Structure 1
Amino acid sequence: MMKQSVNFHERRRQQFLSESNYQRSLEEIPKGIDLFESTPAGSGSSEAEGWLISYRMVAFDLFNLLVLRYTGGEPIEPMRAELEKVVVAHERATKQLRMYYEDPNAIGFQIDSFDGYCPCLGLISLCFLLHRRDLLPRIAELLDGPDKTNVGADFLIEDFLSYAPMDRYESDTLLATRPFESLADAMDSTDNEDALRHLQKFLKRWYKDLAGAPWHNAHKPDAEGRTGGYYGYWSFEAAAAVLLLDIEDDSSLHPYLYYPKDLVAWARTHSNLENVQSATTATSLRCDAGQPCPKTGYWMTPAKRGSRRYFVQGESMPGASSDYGSTIWQWDIDQADPKL
């Protein structure tokens, strides 16, 4: 039997998560990521479709792993780096999607369903909460397409992205009215008291109205006491709205189980990171294979598993043999030496 940690129940941020299921998920999710990184999914009708499914699963699992760690009460600061890994995985999956369908503008998130809309809005919201607004233009490209074919598809997505460092588009369409209509009303409010009323209504119905989401009721254990796919139920979008609308007193939202109040408090305490991130946007560098390395340090490429390595400025960046296509090296924001 797994030894229970004395302080886990105090540390966790949601009571549905047992320590045994937490530890099990921490072991199983990375194993699933390694599997999908190494082989195309057998459910695909072709190898190309198999890789598309695998790449999507990697992005899905990386997001779930981040959420799990938050639910388990782990420190928030390291999640800033984990968030970029999720974005990189979605970029790879979207590139494979566009190659598979021979459509350079194919949309990277299925935002016309809960399966895609909730993760997309959650990912955008975490960029604000973790002070990684520098990632938002990259997420926007996955939605818009290089030719801007899909812009203005949803009001809330456009409204949230309008707070990022880029121009956005008008939209009168809300793809998921339940429960997101109340959140849209909050974002459209002229004063914070009115916005809070809409946010309370939104959080009150959040879980019930998302009954069609694939993770709904995942916390309920089976006969063996295991939960399948429960990593935490969080309305990151409500938290991001509080931050973006500059609502100083969010205490009326604290009683709602799905409101990540710890994350809001952390974001406020670490607001200086936004300026630091803006000043160091150059650390989100990319470099095509064959080009000289623009900055000395650790780099990685989604084109090759386990690709992280150290390059010196001016050194030619190598190519990687894979089905991913062209090799693009990306600066690793975690510059720690693995030998230390």
Structure 2
Amino acid sequence: MNKRQKFLTEARYVDFLVYSEETKEFWDHNTFESDSPEQEASLRATHFKNVALKKLLISYTGGVEISALEPMLEELIRNFERRQEMLALSEKTESISPLAIDDWLDEYEEFVQVASLCILLHRTDLLERFAALLDAAGYCGQDALYEDLLCKVLPDREDIDDWYHDVYTPLLQAIYADDKEVASDLLTEYCEQWYPAFKQAPWHDSHLQGDEGSYVGYWAIEAGTIAYLYGIDDSQIDHMVYPKDLVEYARSHAPTA
């Protein structure tokens, strides 16, 4: 295992991969406790979306080849679509979002992580499908980072000066900094304050739980995506949460004009 973060043990990595397969078999024969079949289907879809996301993240943390992440990302987007479909039936709201990115910081972070993976792996097709789920729920044109991530890849995005969560302020400032060195410094600042800002997230401090815990990796993937999209020098960034090799992969595999 050529792990990318020191907290991941081989036992934790192997156990999760085994679990990710066993949980499929278990829920083939069991049901979630719920008040209705629609709610049960929504809970089931949420569970498998969460497992797919954790599998992708722990695989990256565990050191798999970056190209091997693509089928996992495809599976994750399918699970997001299933989650949205089942949630809409359960809540009787057709255009409901699979993530409440305005209310919950950790769900916003999940959005930018997944969107960033689509961008860095050059899967515009998956990004279109993922963004469509949240656009349809009314998030289009509401948040600056949301739009700044998407506008370099998807057409007809909006220019907006407001954003939902203060933690992303240095990242947004890096995009618009006039001085290249200042932009790099802001990117570093963002990485340094990223983990403390998520102390309320369910995954915070999960590395302290040992091999039986829920740790899959701590990654500010969106920081790398902003560096890639906006040409910010990240050569001096040496922070655990910064996905440097993902950015290098994106640059080396960028489509030619």
Q: TM-score, normalised by structure 1?
A: 0.71
1: distance between equivalents of 2:226 and 2:212? 30
Deviation at 1:14, TM superposition (A): 0.4
Selected match of 2:254 from 240, 248, 271: 271
Unpaired runs of at least 5, structure 1: 1-7, 276-340
Q: Alpha carbon RMSD of aligned pairs, Å?
A: 1.9
Residues 209-266 of structure 1: CA deviation (Å, up to 9, x unaligned): 1111110000013xxx42411011111000101110123x42211x211011121122
- Shift in CA distance, 122/37, structure 1 to aligned 2, threshold 3 Å: farther
Selected match of 1:125 from 102, 116, 139: 116
Q: Which amino acid aligns with 1:56?
A: T
Greater strand share, structure number: 1
How many residue pairs were aligned?
256
- 1:54-69 aligned at under 5 Å gives the runs 54-69=44-59
- Shift in CA distance, 50/135, structure 1 to aligned 2, threshold 3 Å: same
- 1:1-340 aligned at under 5 Å gives the runs 8=1, 11-36=2-27, 39-42=30-33, 44-111=34-101, 112-145=103-136, 149-177=138-166, 179-221=167-209, 225-247=210-232, 249-253=233-237, 255-272=238-255
- Shift in CA distance, 194/57, structure 1 to aligned 2, threshold 3 Å: same
Identity %: 32
2: distance between equivalents of 1:187 and 1:69? 29
Unpaired runs of at least 5, structure 2: none
Please identify the structure whose Cα radius of gyration is greater. Answer: 1
2: distance between equivalents of 1:155 and 1:37? 41
Q: Which amino acid aligns with 1:270?
A: H
Deviation at 1:206, TM superposition (A): 0.7
Greater helix share, structure number: 2
1: distance between equivalents of 2:176 and 2:35? 45
* Native 8 Å contact 1:109 1:120 kept in 2: yes
1: distance between equivalents of 2:83 and 2:138? 18
Residues 116-165 of structure 1: CA deviation (Å, up to 9, x unaligned): 111111000111111112212211211021xx633223221111111123
Q: Which amino acid aligns with 2:127?
A: L
User: Which residue does the alignment assign to 1:304?
Assistant: none
Q: 1:143 is paired with a residue of what secondary structure?
A: helix
Q: TM-score, normalised by structure 2?
A: 0.92
| Higher RCO (C-alpha under 8 Å, 6+ residues apart) | 2
Deviation at 1:37, TM superposition (A): 6.0
